Chain A
Amino acid sequence: MAELLTFGVLWVVFSVLGELGVSAWGHDFYFYTASTQALDGVNASVFLFRFLTPIFVFVVLMLLYIPIRARRRSNESVLRGKGARFNATYVTIWVTLSLAVNLLFFVHPTTSAAEQLFQEMSPQATQNALVVDVVARQWEWYFSYPQYGIKNALNANGNNVLYLPVNRPVKFVLRSYDPNHPYALGEDVIHSFWIPAFGEKMDVIPGETRIMVATPTKIASTETNPEMRVQCAEVCGPGHPYMYATVHVVSNSAFQQWVSQQLKAGN
């Protein structure tokens, strides 16, 4: 009984310490977040950390504390351990709790956060969104803005660039083909459109059109934070590591100014 009590006290103490750690650092789980979707992910993660911490502490304590407590002293001649081969209470609690925790996790945050994301990506929610057509080829990202007539957004050096206004939902329409060689079907492979700071990615599948929605919440750019970059996340050939593009999230007026510059440049 004393053993059980010691274990219980240790478990509570370390769990509380763990929870304090979750409170202190849990919201930095993604290091840098710059979209509402990333925040959805962080909030779901923090919820999971809350529940996983006591479970983790429980199992680790069991793996550390019990073997040390139960360790056979070298002068002991008894070669048999005490203890039951079955304990209905322990097994019932274990099975019930693991089932309950998993069902809870499935309802919240899994389903709730997923439904939230699906809602944000639904056609109704993206009616007024900024549409960016994203074309991935080996190994380059093309961005065009059909609502503004920008066919291929380029910066002053002629590199592909993504400009987004802050706090406005963006609907990325993702396709994989080579616009310069549209007949070369064999060149189309799977890419993955990922902006680390936005907390989500979506694969770009040849022959299919995929949608990803993000609402940027911070004014930032690749120069100010390297997590604000477009990075291909799915291996797509030897050029895969070089398949990135710079991102600028700017204020609404700066965005309008950029649009007119692009149009003037004939992009």
Chain B
Amino acid sequence: MSVARIGGAPLPLRRKKMMPPVIRGLLWAGIGFLVINCLVAYVLDPGYGTPFITQPSVVFGWLAALAGWLLGIGGLENVLLPAFGISVPTVEVPGWRRYFGYSTNHKVIGIQYLVSSTAGFFIAGLAAMFMRIQLMGNHMWFFPYAGQYIETVGIHGTIMMFSVGTVALVGGLGNYVIPMMIGSNSSAFPRMSALSVWFVPAGIMTVILSPLLGQWTTGWRGYEPLAQNDPNGILFYYLGVFALTLSSLLVSINLTSTILFKRAKGLTWNRLPMYAWGILTVSLLNIIWLPEIELTFVLAILDRVVPLPFFTAVGSPMTYLELFWLFGHPEVYIIVVPAFAIWMEIIPVMARKPLFAREWGIIGLIFVMLLSGLVWAHHMFTNMRLTEMLPFSFFTEMISIPTGFAYMVVIGTIWRSRFRLTVPSLFVLMSMFNFLIGGMTGVFLADPVINLQLHDTFFVVAHFHFTVIGGMVFTWLAAMYYWLPKFSGRIYNSKMGILGAIWVFIGFDGAFGLMFIQGLRGMNRWVPVYPPYLQGLNIIISIFAFVLGLGFLFNLIHVVWAMKSGKKVQENPWQSKTLEWQTASPPEEESFAAAPVITGSFYDYEDTDGTYTIPTAPDPVSM
């Protein structure tokens, strides 16, 4: 035995040529679906007239397809077989191909998440454009039937919430940046992470394909008992969201463990970067609330498939609403907490000043996390008992206090600083302005008496887009421009970046600012047709919305262009002190050749300490 291995040289591997992982995953998913679907539909539980697709067959078939997809993408060789002690030699594919397969490198996984999220964002954005085209007329003209419009609204919301809002800043940037930020070369569970990212395209595809099973008209919330009397498309809503939330749950378990256990020597809790605090708090929210909504969806599937009348008139429709919003409001903070953290990450770097009142920023993040579980029923003021309103109103108003701490910290940091007005800082300021409007209008919505008028109108639509696009998407853009040199070693074009920022700002504030007014004038949600007096303003809103859509496209093209052929810059163009900038840009396979030791604060720009050198010449990338 040992005779054969002279000098410890590895045995020559039998290299098997593998199909491209994505193709193999799709193939195995198709085979898995067909086999299990036919087994259930024809053998185990044949329906009347033995249709090819039944409710149980499509649910089990989908589960088999998901398993086939994950195994085909690389789960077989890298996770399943090794779990049974069979080691399969795998070949790491070079170049761009590695992004289309199983990879345990957290930077590859981060990019995979970001690309999936971006795809989801533009697919759901296209749905929004269709909605705005329809709303330019006050009768059915773009969509043939009202149900198709409402279904489009549902697909838009579902993909935006579960594949963009909860994913881009956590699974995407979190996976890429967090391990580097805490001085580690890998995340805690790289193999789990490598698989979790492939839930996202599966989930997006499931939601997009839901019309194949029939129209569902519930919007992104899947309200019962309407979901039960809609056609079967709602099953793919449940299953798609299940896949997407499972992905976020795995990300959160991974990143929480990474922050807890993989920190570099000397990286104490007092020195933990703000973004790591943000990811830690948002991950705790995910770990608490995502299993809750997943089990709710399991109940809803049982309700429909068995059927068990949990949520119909003879059961309790309100129970579904409570269960949904019990997750649904923390969801909003899952989206926006990482954005707060990124504000506090970017601003001290741009201000060249220590982060002001750092502890209060962390207290803010943690209390937002804690309070977010106590406010859910403010989504239900119109359908709960009067006496139950006030406690939720109270906590909803109180959550603005810890939210305000993020503003206090950022403003205090900029005050009397040497502020560099770059594209990332511009996006952060715009994000803070827009989120401020979202928060201030939230005060009105938190008041039950006012809420009874504003609920389910376009005022609410405008409000939550100001918090989600204003808070999260603008911050996402800020973060993409900020970490662009990290991803690629290149920098954006300042003029184009500023143009892009102003472009989306005008489109966004125009479209959604006017939606507040439209809601107050009596425009309710989920309607493709409306009284004629609302049409004029709707046309203006649509035009702003198209401007916004093109603006996002412009920023996408600019970022992709800058990554490929932007100007090359030095490795740490912002002279940031956080650890991810102390690696090469773009980082090597192993970010750190030797484990870093932390001796000081990442936000201390008052004196040059020995660990990092800060150049005294003016930096080449201001503005």
Contacts and interface: CB of A to CB of B under 8 A. Distances in A.
B453 A200 contact: yes
B440 A56 contact: yes
Interface stretch (A123-131, A228-236, A247-255, A257-265): A228-236
Interface in B122-151: 145-147, 150
Nearest to B618: A77
Nearest to B140: A241
A85 B358 contact: yes
B617 A201 contact: no
Contacts of A132: none
A66 B425 CA distance: 13
Interface in B553-593: 575
B82 interface: no
Nearest to B401: A98
Nearest to B404: A98
B466 to A, nearest CB: 13
Contacts of B444: 45, 48
B432 A78 contact: no
A3 B416 CA distance: 9
A121 B387 CA distance: 12
A110 interface: yes
B355 interface: yes
Contact of B453 (A62, A110, A199, A210): A199
A81 B226 contact: no
A148 interface: no
Nearest to B457: A233
A110 B393 contact: yes
B77 interface: no
A41 interface: yes
Interface in A175-201: 176-177, 185-190, 192, 194, 196-197, 199-201
Nearest to A115: B390
Interface string B304-341: 00000100111011100100000000000000000000
B436 to A, nearest CB: 5
A44 B147 CA distance: 37
Given A188-B313, A190-B223, A117 B397 contact: no
B449 interface: yes
How many chain B residues sit at the interface, stated as a range, is 35 or more
Interface string B284-308: 0000000000000000000000000
B443 interface: yes
Contacts of B314: 185, 207
B357 interface: yes
Interface in A102-138: 102, 105-106, 109-111, 113-114, 116-118, 121
Contacts of B195: none
A80 B145 contact: no
B352 A74 contact: no
A189 B240 CA distance: 24
Contact of A67 (B408, B419, B622): B419
Contacts of B150: 235, 238, 240
User: Taking each of B150, B419, B450, B521, which has the highest tally of chain A beta carbons within 10 Å of its own beta carbon?
Assistant: B450
Contacts of A45: 444, 450
A10 interface: no
B418 A81 contact: yes
Nearest to B387: A118
B421 interface: yes
A29 B441 CA distance: 12
B353 A113 contact: no
Given A187-B229, A235-B226, A63 B417 contact: no
B456 A234 contact: yes
B146 A240 contact: yes
A237 interface: yes
A118 to B, nearest CB: 5
A241 B360 contact: no
Nearest to B436: A59
B349 to A, nearest CB: 11
Contacts of B398: 102, 106
A70 B147 CA distance: 53
A78 B147 CA distance: 61
A83 to B, nearest CB: 4
Interface string A72-87: 1011111111111111
20 contacts: A44-B447, A67-B421, A72-B419, A74-B618, A79-B418, A79-B616, A79-B619, A80-B606, A83-B356, A94-B408, A95-B405, A110-B448, A113-B450, A114-B389, A114-B449, A116-B449, A117-B448, A189-B223, A192-B455, A200-B449
Given A37-B449, A238-B145, 8 more contacts: A59-B411, A59-B436, A70-B351, A86-B357, A94-B408, A190-B317, A235-B217, A242-B529
5 closest A-B pairs by beta carbon, nearest first, are A238-B147, A81-B417, A81-B353, A203-B383, A206-B313
Interface of A: 3, 29-32, 37-38, 40-41, 44-45, 48, 52, 55-56, 59-60, 62-64, 66-68, 70-72, 74-87, 90-91, 94-95, 98-99, 102, 105-106, 109-111, 113-114, 116-118, 121, 176-177, 185-190, 192, 194, 196-197, 199-203, 205-208, 210, 226-227, 229, 231-242
